[in-house]
Amino acid sequence: MPVIAALTVPRFAFGVVARRLGLRDPAVAAALAPEPGGPPRVGEPSAAAGAAGVREGMRLSEALALCPHLALLPPDPVAVEQAAEVLCAQIEALGLAVEPAGPGRALIQTDPVERLYGGRPGVLMRLQDTAPDGRVGAAPGRFCALAVTRRARPGRPVSVTGPAVREFLAPLEIGALAADGGVADDLVEALRRLGIDRLGALEALGRLQLRDRFGPAGEHAWRLASGDDPTPLRPRSATVALRESLALPDAAVTEGMLEHALRVLVERLLARDDRRGREPRTLRLGARLVGGGSWSTGVTLREPTADAGRLRLALHAKLQGLPAPAEELTVELTALAPGNHQVPLFRDEGDARAARVGAAVSHVRAALGEGAVLHIVTVEETSRLPERRFGLAPR
pLDDT at residue number 2: 79
Residue 221 amino acid letter: A
Measured over all CA atoms, what is the biggest interatomic distance in the chain, rounded to whole angstroms?
70
- In sequence order, which ranges of 237-341 are alpha helices (DSSP H)? 255-270, 308-319
- pLDDT tens across the length of the chain (395 residues): 778 999 999 999 999 999 988 888 888 999 999 987 788 999 999 999 999 999 998 999 999 999 999 999 999 988 998 899 999 999 998 888 899 998 999 999 888 888 888 899 999 999 999 999 999 999 998 999 999 999 999 999 999 988 899 999 999 999 999 988 888 889 999 999 999 999 999 999 998 989 988 888 899 999 999 988 888 888 887 666 799 999 887 665 677 888 889 999 999 999 998 888 889 989 999 998 887 889 999 988 888 889 999 999 999 988 888 888 888 999 999 888 886 655 566 666 677 777 778 777 777 776 777 677 887 877 777 777 777 777 777 76
Residues with Cβ within 8 Å of residue 15, at least 6 apart in sequence:
9, 133
SS3 111: helix
Backbone angles phi, psi at 22, to 5 degrees: 80, 20
Task: Say how far apart CA 354 and CA 271 lie, in whole Å.
Answer: 34
- Which of 304, 368, 296 lies closest to 332, judged by CA? 296
Instruction: Note the pLDDT of residue 114.
Output: 87
Specify whether the backbone of 331 is left (phi greater than 0), alpha (psi in -120 to 50) or beta. Answer: beta
CA distances from 279 to 180, 245, 270, 359, 365 (A): 36, 19, 9, 15, 17
The structure's pTM equals 0.73
The 8-class DSSP code of residue 9 comes to -
d(CA 125, CA 203): 33
**Distance (Å, rounded) from C-alpha 313 to C-alpha 190?**
45
Q: What is the pLDDT of residue 348?
A: 67
What pLDDT score does 395 carry? 67
Burial (CB count <10 Å: 0-12, 13-18, 19+), residue 244: middle
Walk me through the domains of the chain, giving residue ranges and CATH numbers.
1-152 (3.30.70.270), 167-225 (1.10.150), 242-337 (3.30.1490.100), 347-395 (no CATH)
Q: Burial, 230: exposed, middle or buried (Cβ in 10 Å; 0-12, 13-18, 19+)?
A: exposed
Confirm if 7 and 149 have CB atoms less than 8 A apart: yes
The confidence score (pLDDT) of residue 384 equals 75
Q: What is the pLDDT of residue 251?
A: 62
